[in-house]
Structure formats: structure tokens, C-alpha cells
């Protein structure tokens, strides 16, 4: 059963790295995918706000899965 959580941890790790790299910043990757387009009056786009929300959810799931792996599946 712990192999399922290890697989989930691997998928969450890859997803978190990709999502963090998609955020705009100094020379970020998001400019390649159009992350700098369609800005609203506040200066951040709707896409950036949704990307931040998804990143937060994936990071929370990563933290919870890590805690489960550490505390529940002790060897």
C-alpha cells in the first residue's frame, strides 16, 4: 500500500516542479507559453491567479502525502 503513496508522491513532485517553473518571474518559463499576455488592471492575469491556486493545492497535497509517508508508513 505504501507503493501507491510513493507513486502519488512522485507525480506530485513532478507536477509541483512544472507548476513552479510556469510562474512568471525573472526570466521564467511562463513567457514561452504566453504567461505574460492578457493582463488585467491589477497587473496580474487571470491565468496567473489560477496557476497560483493550482500550485497551492498541489503543494498542500504534497505536504499531506509527505506527512502520511512519514508518520503512517514508518519502517
Instruction: Give the pLDDT confidence of 26-40 residue by residue, as tens digits.
Output: 554 555 555 555 554
Give me the pLDDT at residue 74, please.
80
Give me the pLDDT at residue 70, please.
93
Instruction: Give the pLDDT confidence of 3-61 residue by residue, as tens digits.
Output: 999 999 999 999 999 999 998 765 545 555 555 555 545 556 888 889 999 999 999 99
Contacts 24+ apart (CB under 8 A), 17-22: 19/51, 19/54, 19/55, 19/58, 20/55, 22/51
Give the predicted TM-score (pTM) of the model. 0.74
Look at residue 69 and tell me whether its pLDDT is greater than 70: yes
Amino acid at each position: 500500500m505504501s507503493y501507491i503513496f510513493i507513486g502519488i508522491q512522485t507525480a506530485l513532485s513532478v507536477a509541483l516542479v512544472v507548476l513552479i517553473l510556469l510562474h512568471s518571474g525573472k526570466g521564467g518559463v511562463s513567457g514561452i507559453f504566453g504567461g505574460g499576455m492578457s493582463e488585467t488592471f491589477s497587473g496580474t492575469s487571470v491565468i496567473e491567479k489560477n496557476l497560483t491556486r493550482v500550485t497551492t493545492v498541489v503543494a498542500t497535497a504534497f505536504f499531506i502525502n509527505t506527512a502520511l509517508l512519514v508518520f503512517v508508513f514508518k519502517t
